Structure 1
Amino acid sequence: MSETFFSPCPRGLESFLVEELKAYGASAIDSVPGGVQYEGDWQLAWRTNLESRIATRVLWKVGRTRYRSEDEIYKLAYATTWAKWFTPDETIRIYVTAIKSPLKSLNFTTLKIKDGLCDHFRTVAGKRPSVDTESPDLRIHAFITEDTCTLYLDTSGEPLYKRGFKPAKVDAPLKENLAAGILKLSGWQPGQPFLDPMCGSGTFLVEAAQMSLGIAPGLGRRFAFEKFRHFDQAAYRRVRGAVEAKRKPAAELPIFGADIDPHQIAATEENLAAAGFDNRQVELVVNDVLDLEPPLNDGIIASNPPYGVRLSTGEELAEWYPRLGDAMKRHWAGWNIYLLTADTELPKRIGLRASKKTPLMNGDLDCRLYEFKMLAGSARDTFR
């Protein structure tokens, strides 16, 4: 039986999510800014949760109505057959997103949806689920337009960019699905040399290593759909086993990371180890990006440099940017460089003309991914 799903993703990466969903066998695919709607069976939903590097969630459409007031939205929440899918012993949280809605209060609308759901359970089961705003068992999402309300049950639980293994936290984090999308935007392919010279906690490096060895990003975590009453555990084990079978044997990879801060390198090592990688897959050095030299003749660089919002002062960056541009010209001939930044003046500040710029969102930050293609030159060997 075909179901309807919606997967949000970072804006600017919708086309890559469409490619993934086509590969999983989705049908009726409809891309919108910030996500993709599609149809398929539950095996498709499981595969998307397990394998998608771009999706943020997999939301299952469970109800829709036209409305003129909160009362119609309450009626939709009451009529939706929640008790078929989970019990009142599970905790819940309601999320509401609205575009051009005439409703005056989203908080009041959220309350009406919660009331409708809880009243449904009181009628059917004699008790209601509790609300947990911190770590709910199940999440219900409502999307409200000018005259329609659509209800979704979240099959993912924690957002899919939380891969389930990353213990070390650092400042200015980059979400994993955005990092994966940037790797795809760069044209990088497994087997091609890759370097992040300001690697922080190693997000780009882990994504590149997993992609190189065919390791699905969701294999290290659990999902909300495992709590659904109609969950077919035996069928899911078969799907998960097929996904696990795609994993390639451990091998040396041309993936490199560097950072000026030894604490950041320690965090990267911790995260790589938690993901099952060591220095055979990713080679790390403590070094300033301004002094770093290439490990190989050519390859792809992708990085999320400091840009004054979270890490450095404006004066520090004004002095540092031109030095970064000089280092790129001096050391990185033969490499294509991709820098994600919220600073739209970055090309001018570093003194290089970007061959391409792609608008992307890093959380709430409006960013650009700039491409710099450096002319070919000779390699230097500082990593080995």
Structure 2
Amino acid sequence: MNKYFAICPRGLEELLLEELRAVGGEELRSTAGGVFFSGDWSVCYRANLESRLATRILWHIVKGPYAKEEDIYRLAVRQLWPNHFAVSRTMRVVTTAIKCPLKSLDFVTLRVKDAVCDRFREDLGERPNIETRNPDVSVHVFLTENECTLYLDTSGQPLWQRGFRKASVDAPLKENLAAGILKMTGWQPGTPLVDPMCGSGTFLLEAVQVALDRAPGLDRGFSFERLAKFEALNWANIRSAAEARVKPAEPLEIRGYDIDDQAVRATRRNLQEAGFGGVVTVDRADVLETQPLTEHGIMVANPPYGERIGEQEELAAFYPELGSALKKHWAGWNCFFFTADLRLPKLVGLKPSRKTPLFNGPLECRLFEIRMVAGSNRKP
């Protein structure tokens, strides 16, 4: 039984815990920014393939106390790295820390790299090459105030890189955060879904994959395929089972709109290249004039944040108009807005029924749920 740590955007930990339980993870425990779990290699492979919310899955190698850099070197040099990956693999070391008293994390990274290479040299007479940009294998060092944990990355490229989004617009939402927001809205396949400010179509792409029961990792490779203990037949069976589950692509009650022609083109291209061309309707439209085609459904949007003063003033003028449009057109719908602009509910003039704190990288955001009650607001 291996031990693992799955990293995710802050705010999605409990949802990720349930997701990992569903793929067979045991001894699950959430902490800020991720979930500890255990399982065999099948669980690791399935977590990488199936998780919509994780950023990466790390395999726990060892944990020990430290007071200075040399303690970390000694902990690392004692590990049997040649049992974990071949000397022909390129590698890098990544260090992160919370409340670490040491002066330089770069020096820690250097010492762990030395330790791994020294171990290879001692055991095999040669050492692996270092490749910082796109290595075969990544050793992750995590430091707290007095403990060092060493992991091997089983994911490779971050798991939010589904391999789909070829065309992008400014400040796109990462796929795993979009998937988490979608889950928080309570949306289920079959329920109408609208993103009236779709950008490059991230919410739409995530929703289609859920509706078609398509594992998010089917179009990419993983670092575990380059580890010494890789079980190729086991992985082939897991992958085949996931492929066999995918439903055929057919038109769904999922729609995207954007006022920007470039965004509409980007979304259409991304859907087309993912093989979902005829599945989602995408049109150019102003959110203030967009109207739903059904009486009930879920709207989800990631409006602009306005990081500069001029933009903030523009948004302060836009939000009341958005509030009027919601009252006029969207009665009966559950509307969700993900934003770092905490003025939104007040300026929109509608009281949110729920405010969920989430982080977009370091940026603290909120997911506001605004239930548009049917009846009183709609014009005859």
TM-score (norm 1): 0.95
User: Is the CA contact (8 Å cut-off) linking 1:172 and 1:310 kept in structure 2?
Assistant: no
What residue is the counterpart of 1:116 in the other structure?
A: 115
Alignment of 1:16-31 (within 5 A): 16-31=15-30
Secondary structure (helix, strand or coil) at the match of 2:230 reads coil
Deviations 1:288-309 (A, max 9, x none): 1011111211100111100113
Take 2:217 and 2:307, find their aligned partners in 1: how far apart are those partners?
31
1:248 lines up with 2:281 in the alignment: no
Offset of residue 146 of structure 1: 1.5
> Whole-Å Cα distance in 2 between the matches of residues 84 and 310 of structure 1?
52
Identity percentage over the alignment?
Answer: 54
Q: Residue 324 of structure 1: which of 322, 325, 329 is its match?
A: 322
Superposed CA deviations along residues 46-90 of structure 1, whole A, max 9, x for unmatched, are 000000001111100011111111111001111111111212222
Q: Name the residue aligned to 2:132.
A: 133
Partner of 1:57: 56
The alpha carbon displacement at 1:349 in A equals: 1.4
Q: CA deviation at 1:208?
A: 0.3
* Structure 1 residue 131 displacement after superposition: 2.1
Distance 2:123 2:332 in 1: 66
Q: Does 1:40 align with 2:39?
A: yes
**Gap change, CA 1:338 and 1:262, over 3 Å in 2:** same
CA contact (8 A) 1:172 1:311 kept: no
Name the structure 2 match of 1:307: 305
User: Structure 1, residues 194-230: CA drift from partner, whole Å, max 9, x if none?
Assistant: 0100000000000000000100000000001111122
User: Once the 2 structures are TM-superposed, how far is the Cα of residue 251 of structure 1 from its aligned partner?
Assistant: 2.3
Report matched runs for 1:259-298 at 5 Å.
Answer: 259-279=258-278, 281-298=279-296
Answer yes or no: is 1:86 the counterpart of 2:85.
yes
Alignment match, 2:344 = 346
C-alpha displacement of 1:310:
7.9
Q: Distance in 2 between matches of 1:117 and 1:310?
A: 46
| 1:289 alignment partner AA | V
The two structures, once aligned, show a CA RMSD in angstroms of 1.7
Cα distance in structure 2, aligned partners of 1:169 and 1:137:
27
Question: Partner of 1:58: helix, strand, or coil?
Answer: strand
1:335 alignment partner in structure 2: 333
SS at match of 1:96: strand
CA deviation profile, 1:159-216 (whole Å, cap 9, x unmatched):
0000012211210110111111111111111111101000000000000000001000
Q: Structure 1 18/215 Cα, relative in aligned 2: closer, same or farther at 3 Å?
A: same
Q: Distance in 1 between matches of 2:40 and 2:309?
A: 45
The residue type paired with residue 140 of structure 1 is V
Mean Cα deviation higher: 138-147 or 186-195: 138-147
- 1:220 is paired with a residue whose SS is coil
Q: Secondary structure at the match of 2:300?
A: strand
**Cross-structure match for 2:214:** 215
Q: What is the DSSP-based 3-state SS (H/G/I as helix, E as strand, rest coil) of the residue aligned with 1:271? A: helix
Mean Cα deviation higher: 128-137 or 203-212: 128-137
What's 2:223 paired with? 224
Larger displacement relative to structure 2 (172-181 or 228-237): 228-237
Alignment partners' CA distance in 2, 1:253 and 1:325: 28
Distance change (3 Å), C-alpha of 1:25 and 1:311: farther
Counterpart code for 2:135? P
Residue 140 (structure 1) shift: 1.2
Distance change in 2, residues 1:221/1:311 (3 Å) = farther
Give the equivalent residue in structure 2 for 1:71.
70
Task: Name the aligned partner's letter for residue 64 of structure 1.
Answer: K
Partner SS for 2:245: coil
Residue type matched to 1:172 in 2? Answer: A
Correspondence 1:195 to 2:194: yes
C-alpha change, 1:355 and 1:309, in structure 2 (3 Å) is same
Contact kept in structure 2, 1:91 and 1:129, CA below 8 Å: yes
Q: Distance in 2 between matches of 1:332 and 1:167?
A: 32
Unpaired segments ≥5 residues, structure 1: none
CA drift of 1:311 comes to: 11
CA 1:355–1:294: 2 relative to 1, 3 Å: same
Q: Could you tell me which residue of structure 2 aligns to residue 185 of structure 1?
A: 184
* Mean Cα deviation higher: 225-234 or 282-291: 225-234
> How big is the shift at 1:133?
2.0
Q: Deviations over 1:121-141 (max 9, x none)?
A: 111222222222221221111
Q: Determine the C-alpha separation between the residues in 2 that align with 1:311 and 1:156.
A: 40
> Could you tell me how far apart the structure 1 residues matched to 2:308 and 2:167 are?
18
Task: Please state whether the residue corresponding to 2:56 is helix, strand or coil.
Answer: coil
Kept in 2: contact 1:56–1:159 (CA 8 A): yes
